């Protein structure tokens, strides 16, 4: 774990994004709120916020920092859902890992909630994929 003792607290912000590819019929079920496990985007948003707050429990070298804001947004396309997670803190270290974790868990939750609709006859996921996870923006200082 990096020694951040001598660093000053300052405004930190990071935005991460990823995308899950799904069948068109699954996208329709999400937007029409017909997924058997519930409201996919609401549940995955809650999961993302929890994941952001639990990042130091999941990634050993991450510091415990005060999270002052989390925002999770979705862009639903005809064959995919993009999840964007923005995390804000006033601390000694950045929040990129928290934003990445939030975006990843949002996407994993979408997968979990829609897997019944995505599986083929053999129980496989031939068209489902999570891709393009990256940090879009990092801000240090106001």
Q: Which residues pair with 18 in a beta bridge?
A: 83
Of 57, 73, 77, 112, which residue is the catalytic one? 112
CB 77 within 8 A of CB 27: yes
> Is 112 labeled as catalytic in the residue annotation?
yes
CB 48 within 8 A of CB 15: no
Q: What angle do CA 125, 129, 133 make, to 5 degrees?
A: 160
Which residue in the block uniquely carries the two structure tokens 């985007």? 41
List active site positions: 112
């Amino acid at each position: 774990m990096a020694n951040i003792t001598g660093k000053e607290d300052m405004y930190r912000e990071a935005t991460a994004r990823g995308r899950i590819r799904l069948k068109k019929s699954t996208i329709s079920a999400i937007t029409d709120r017909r997924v058997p496990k519930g409201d996919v985007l609401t549940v995955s948003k809650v999961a993302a916020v929890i994941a952001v707050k639990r990042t130091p429990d999941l990634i050993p070298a991450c510091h415990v920092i005060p999270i002052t804001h989390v925002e999770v947004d979705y862009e639903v396309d005809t064959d995919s859902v993009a999840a964007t997670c923005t995390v804000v803190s006033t601390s000694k270290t950045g929040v990129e890992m928290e934003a990445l974790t939030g975006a990843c868990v949002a996407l994993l939750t979408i997968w979990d909630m829609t897997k019944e609709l995505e599986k083929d006859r053999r129980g496989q996921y031939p068209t489902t994929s999570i891709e393009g996870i990256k940090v879009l923006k990092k801000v240090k200082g106001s």
